[in-house]
Chain A
Amino acid sequence: MTEKLMFQNAPHVRQSESVRTMMTDVVIALLPIYLMGFFYYGARALMLGLCGVLSCVGFSAIGSLALREKFSFDLTPVITGLIIPLLMPADIRYFVIIAACAVAIFVVKVPFGGTGNNLFNPAAVGFASAAICWPGMVFSYPAPIQSLEIFGESATKIAQSPAYSLALGAVPEYEVLDMVLGNVPGPMGATNIFVAAACGIFLIVRKAVNWITPASFIIPYALLSAFFPRIEASSFDSLCYELFSGTVIFGAFFMLSEPVTSPKRDFGKFLAGITSAAAVFLFRYFGGFEMGFASALIVMNVFSPVFDRICEDILHVYRHKDSLLRKKEQNPEKEEKKEKAPALKIFKKAEKKAEIPEDEEIINVSLINTPGEELVPEEKEEPFEPEEKAEESEKEEAVQ
């Protein structure tokens, strides 16, 4: 009986969900968008996706070879490789995709330690760098519902996306229903709002994405575009045009909600959603390019540790509320005086140990199987200053 016995750490039952299932869900949710690309632009859409996936996986293998690590295949480069072509027009040249994937893997992911350690969203950085290098190719779109040649370049590049006309300050010449259905020129995967939103809801139901992130991004963004329209139209029209053009809906579900670069807690995600809505709006309002989402996302990724820190500071007060309240009740005057002499401190500690709170006589608290262990109320050692810490961390962020 003892031959096979193995060691494992404490919770001996684990959730069946793993990173692999979460990533598979995202890949499954991206496939219908590729099918819509196939419907609008022909087989070239699928070839672009394949090109992106192969180059991302290949580059991450090369990266781990260069760092002399063992290459373990996971699905994160596949997702990056699937998202990048969806942000670009369907007749983009293949080398642009490969270059964007190279930036995403070699600049953003590998130097920081691979999966789980990247500071920025790799797909956003890849797309943004491609847009800066080849703006002519990235921002001119083919008209939808035509079968493009799989290899080579098509000559018909006449159509302008609604996002471009919005950036110029003109009312787009397309119907809102066409924009919702994706029957307008634009990025290959992001024009079809219905399919993108449906796939996003699939992700929310499967709990691969927290609903707070897209909700706290889309609703403030819609409100902002309704109250501050760029075009001379009614606020509802402005709302529809702003929300359904560009990569706003697609990005809210697939890029903003990426777990690595977003804050950890729900409240932090809420704050990040609102602030990135404001940032995207400002980038599109004042920015030179028609693309505002990717650049705003890169900027907002920097602040997610700040939002985490804010949550931690709030929770620190929540965890210590009992001892803080008791302290105030017992000696409201002493709080103002600061004792600096170390001898006094020791004396104070000894005093604290001696007094045991009478009202909380909890006999059985410890959950670990260590008999006789009691949870003694912890001593508070350092005075808590939440505001200063938050400021400090923000300053550090600014310095970096």
Chain B
Amino acid sequence: MSFFVKGILLEQKKEPMLTRSTLVMRQEFQYFDCDFMETPIDELSKEQIIEIARLAEIVDESDGKMLWEKLEKAELGEKGTLIVDAIDDEPYISSQMAIGIHHQEKFALGIELCEKVLAPAKTYIAMYKHIFDTNFSIPRKIGGYKVEKIGGRYPAENRAYRHIPKGRNSIVIGSCAMLHLARAAEDSRKMSSCFLTVAGDAVSNPRNVEVPVGTSVEEILRLCGLTEEPEVIVVGGSMTGRAIFEPENELVGPTTRGIVALSRSYNHSTYNCIGCGRCDHACPKALSVSTMRKLAEFGKFDELRNYDAAQCIGCGACSYVCPARIDIAATIIKAKKQMELAKKEGTL
């Protein structure tokens, strides 16, 4: 179906954050108590590992759920797959990949503990391979676990979990959660920090940082330094994050993956849509984006429903490619929310 769905190839701009070591902000660690503190790690049982994850309050950064709940509920069966999410296909962001590369031993230990609980038939680490602007090569194995290089165009994260054969269950766990699980099992340390990428052309020392949960964005930017006053500060990924106005009041959480400070905002639209159809080809869900944008602008929601607007995942690929710099994704996402509201009220 590549005739219809082309996707986009993004400049990844992951250097120098990916190869530099992680910068750790000073913090006080918190510890927890439990009955099986003395048990060696090899002899921990399934229930004990789940108990450790519960006591350490580990949050999976890939979807914001509690890790112990995910481990407890998961029923992989005989043919199940455990996928460790270290994809990071958005430009600038490399916080999940960097953990797999710079903290290999603890990362592998975390995977081993998860394997013990879930007993999957297959385990692999997913990483995005199309990083052309660097000499860094992704290792084939990390701590004995196979690294599956996810190719393809943006958004790869959406596509990566779909090539699992049918009838097989799978569970996706983020790589930061693995590291926190290993730390909790070894040192009985609570999860009190999160991993972020601080990048952008206004940052003087772009790096991956480990900061306590609840640090303000201003503090993190001060840690890395600014070369000039940024016009845009983005929390989250550079493709799907949101621009913020009050960096001193904006606190980072476990699911925050990056902070991008840009010295210039992009040039806003001065053109009409010329109908080149690039947004249609960029859409990973094969939606007719150009028609949907027109319908969304005029508020024709009942027609928009026929175009499967509910399937939009908000990846922003359409806005990226638009040569007229129209905010296509924002328009469609807004219309989608209005549609859901209207559906609840029963007017649609």
Confirm or deny: B306 has a beta carbon within 8 angstroms of a beta carbon on chain A: yes
Binds B, one of A172-180, A182-190, A277-285, A370-378: A370-378
Chain A residue numbers with a CB within 8 Å of B277 are: 259, 263-265
| Smallest beta-carbon distance A178→chain B, Å | 37
Stretch at the interface among A53-61, A90-98, A195-203, A356-364: A356-364
Contacts of A378 in B (CB 8 A): 308, 310-311
Cα(A5)–Cα(B245), bound, Å: 6
Q: A375 contacts which chain B residues (CB < 8 A)?
A: 313
A183 CB to closest chain B CB (Å) equals: 36
When C-beta atoms are compared, the residue in chain A nearest to B91 turns out to be A13
CB distance from B79 to the nearest CB of A (A): 11
Contact present for A267 and B4 (CB under 8 Å)? yes
Interface flags, A196-212, vs B, CB<8A=1, else 0? 00000000000000000
Asked whether any CB of chain B lies closer than 8 Å to the CB of A315, the reply is: yes
Complex formed: what's the CA distance from A4 to B245 in Å? 9
Whether, in the assembled complex, A1 has its beta carbon less than 8 Å from a beta carbon of chain B, the answer is yes
| Nearest Cβ on chain B to A112's Cβ, whole angstroms | 11
Given A5-B233, A12-B238, A266-B3, A366:B313 Cβ within 8 A: yes
Which residue of chain A is the closest to B218 with respect to CB atoms? A1
CA distance A316 to B323 in the complex (A): 26
Q: Is the CB of A6 within 8 A of B323?
A: no
Complex contact A12–B262 (CB within 8 A): yes
Q: Does A68 contact B (CB under 8 A)?
A: no
- Inter-chain contacts of A362 with B (CB < 8 A): 161-162, 170, 172
Knowing A1-B230, A312-B291, A363-B172, say if A8 contacts B323 (CB, 8 Å): no
- Taking a contact as CB atoms under 8 Å apart, the answer to whether A319 and B313 are in contact is no
Which segment of A16-24, A224-232, A290-298 sits at the interface? A16-24
| Contact of B323 (CB < 8 Å), options: A19, A113, A381 | A19
Does A2 sit at the interface, judged by CB under 8 A?
Answer: yes
Interface status of A331 (Cβ within 8 A of chain B): no
Chain B residues near A260 (CB-CB < 8 A): 274-275
A115 CA to B276 CA in the complex, in Å?
12
Tell whether, in the assembled complex, residue B288 and residue A315 are in contact, meaning their CB atoms are under 8 Å apart: yes
Contact of B65 among A14, A259, A372 (CB under 8 A): A372
The secondary-structure label for the interface of chain B is loop
B280 pairs with A11, CB closer than 8 A = no
Q: Tell whether, in the assembled complex, residue A371 and residue B64 are in contact, meaning their CB atoms are under 8 Å apart.
A: yes
A residues near B120, Cβ cutoff 8 Å: none
Judge whether A135 is part of the interface by a CB distance below 8 angstroms: no
**Most A C-beta atoms less than 10 A away, residue of B229, B265, B268, B272:** B272
Contact partners of A259 in chain B: CB under 8 A: 274-277
Contacting residues, chain B, for A367 (C-beta < 8 A) = 155, 157-158, 240, 313-315
B40 at the interface (CB under 8 A from A): no
**Assembled-state Cα–Cα distance A266/B287 (Å):** 14
Determine if A341 is an interface residue (Cβ-Cβ < 8 Å): no
Question: In A142-165, which residues have CB < 8 Å from any B CB?
Answer: none
CB–CB B245/A7 < 8 A: yes
Instruction: Judge if B281 is at the interface, Cβ distance under 8 Å.
Output: yes
Q: Does B237 contact A (CB under 8 A)?
A: yes
Minimum CB distance partner of B244 in chain A: A5
Q: Which residues of B contact A264 (CB under 8 A)?
A: 275-277, 280, 288, 290
Contact, CB under 8 Å: A372 / B63? yes
Is A51's beta carbon under 8 Å from chain B?
Answer: no
**Contact of A308 with B by CB under 8 A:** yes
Q: How many A-B residue pairs have CB under 8 A?
A: 218
Asked if B308 and A22 sit within 8 Å, CB to CB, the answer is no
**Which one of B47-55, B109-117, B136-144, B325-333 contacts A?**
B325-333
* Cβ of B344 to closest chain A Cβ, rounded Å: 14
Whether A364 contacts B172 in the complex (CB less than 8 A), given A5-B231, A11-B239, A12-B266, comes out as: yes
Contact A10 B245 (CB under 8 A): no
Residues of B within 8 A of A6 (CB): 231-232, 243, 265
- Report the count of interface residues on B (CB-CB < 8 A): 94
Digit string of A306-343 for contact with B (CB within 8 Å is 1, else 0)? 00100110111011100000000000000000000000
A265 and B347 alpha carbons, distance in the complex (Å): 33
Instruction: Determine the chain B residues whose CB is within 8 A of the CB of A21 once the complex forms.
Output: 323
A259 to B275 Cα, complex, angstroms: 6
Across the interface, do A12 and B276 meet the contact criterion of CB distance under 8 Å? no
A interface majority secondary structure? loop
**Distance of B294 from chain A, by nearest CB (Å):** 11
Task: Give Cα A363 to B275, complex, Å.
Answer: 36
* Beta-carbon contact of A318 and B266 below 8 Å: no
Determine if A365 and B239 form an interchain contact, defined as CB atoms under 8 angstroms apart. Answer: no
B251 within 8 A of A: no
Asked if A382 contacts B306 (CB within 8 A), the reply is yes
> Which residues of A have CB within 8 Å of B224?
none
Neighbour of B241 across the interface among A12, A115, A316, A360, CB < 8 A: A12
Chain B proximity mask over A1-43: 1 for CB below 8 Å, otherwise 0: 1111111111111110111111000000000000000000000
Complex CA gap A272/B313 in Å reads 31
Q: Complex formed: what's the CA distance from A145 to B127 in Å?
A: 63
CB distance from B13 to the nearest CB of A (A): 8
The answer to whether B307 has its CB under 8 Å from any CB of chain A is yes
A11 x B271 contact (CB < 8 A): no
Would you call B323 and A116 a contact (CB within 8 A)? no
Q: Are B70 and A10 in contact (CB under 8 A)?
A: no
Chain B positions 235-261 with a Cβ under 8 Å from a chain A Cβ: 235-248, 253, 255-257, 260
A264 to B283, alpha carbons, bound, how many Å?
A: 13
* B26 contacts chain A at the CB level, 8 A cutoff: no
Which residue of chain A lies nearest to B248 when distances are taken between CB atoms in the complex? A2
B320 near A11 (CB under 8 angstroms)? yes
Confirm or deny: B212 has a beta carbon within 8 angstroms of a beta carbon on chain A. no
Are A114 and B272 CB-contacts (below 8 A) given A6-B243, A11-B329, A319-B286?
yes
Q: Which 10 A-B pairs have the closest CB atoms?
A: A371-B64, A264-B277, A116-B272, A11-B316, A9-B330, A259-B276, A9-B327, A369-B236, A364-B172, A19-B271
Contacts A10-B314, A19-B274, A362-B172 supplied; 12 other A-B pairs, CB < 8 Å: A4-B231, A9-B329, A10-B242, A15-B321, A18-B325, A21-B323, A264-B290, A311-B288, A312-B288, A360-B166, A367-B155, A369-B257
**Which residues of A line the B interface, CB within 8 A?**
1-15, 17-22, 72, 74, 76, 113-117, 259-267, 308, 311-312, 314-316, 318-320, 359-369, 371-372, 374-375, 378, 381-382
- 12 chain-A/chain-B pairs, Cβ below 8 angstroms: A8-B266, A12-B238, A13-B266, A72-B270, A114-B272, A259-B277, A265-B280, A361-B170, A362-B162, A369-B256, A371-B63, A371-B253
